[in-house]
Amino acid sequence: MTGLLLHVDSSIGTAEESVSRRLTALFAQTWRARHGAADHRYRDLAADPVPLLGPAYGRLGRRVDEHGRVAPAKVAALVEGPAEEREWALTRPLIDEVLAAGTVLLGVPMYNFAIPAGLKAWIDRITFPGAFTDPDSGESRLRGTRVVVVTARGGGYGPGTPREAFDFQTPYLRAYFGSLGVAESNLHFVHAELTRAAALPALAPYRELGAASLTAAQEAVLELAAL
């Protein structure tokens, strides 16, 4: 897959502590070896959090919505006042990164059955009215963008497990990127399950399953990064 690699981590853990960080790093390392480092963009949502939306973001978004399809390049002309100017200055660079990406790589640990708050703040900010819609055709500008979601879960939430219904990561992110127009064939999920089995006595019976899941995740990451 050609084009810029936008690599986004959201784990609060360090590179040594975080399974999702290690897996996305493996993807990025493999991708850079194939495509070079110049087109790799990295964003750490734990070290450099995206600010939560303010009232001025909502006002600007509603005004843009009322004008129909407005390209990001033309939003500044609709900004009113310093607060809206600040919100747009925080938002536009994030949107531009996504639009420039051939591949968006997300590292997503499971926190309380869902995605980290830092990742949700990033999602909220980039989801600005019309940001990913071609103003002329009305088609999604992300139709050809590949999204690779690498999750890490301390327990087991895969199909057929007792806690399958507690997985609010996969359905949410699938619905979200699908609503932006990312093609289903371009949306990939890699899950590392039972990542806490080696440390928690209660999960000791599942240590081999956890190790096997991590190995499978590493193999899937390498395969996707090589495309």
Strands of the sheet with 146-152, listed across from one edge:
40-44, 4-9, 101-109, 146-152, 187-192
pLDDT tens digits, the chain, 227 residues: what are they? 568 999 999 999 999 999 999 999 999 999 999 999 999 999 999 999 999 999 999 999 999 999 999 999 999 999 999 999 999 999 999 999 999 999 999 999 999 999 999 999 999 999 999 999 999 999 999 999 999 999 999 999 999 999 999 999 999 999 999 999 999 999 999 999 999 999 999 999 999 999 999 999 999 999 999 98
Cα atoms in the Cβ-side hemisphere of radius 13 Å centred on 123: 18
Which position has the token pair 């005004």? 63
Number of Cβ within 10 Å of residue 158's Cβ equals 15
User: Residue 1's pLDDT is what?
Assistant: 54
pTM given for the model: 0.96
Has domain 4-50+100-225 been given CATH number 2.40.170.20? Answer: no
Q: Helices marked H in the chain — which ranges?
A: 19-35, 55-66, 72-75, 81-100, 117-126, 170-179, 207-225
Contact 116, 12 (CB under 8 A): yes
Domain boundaries, the chain: 4-50+100-225
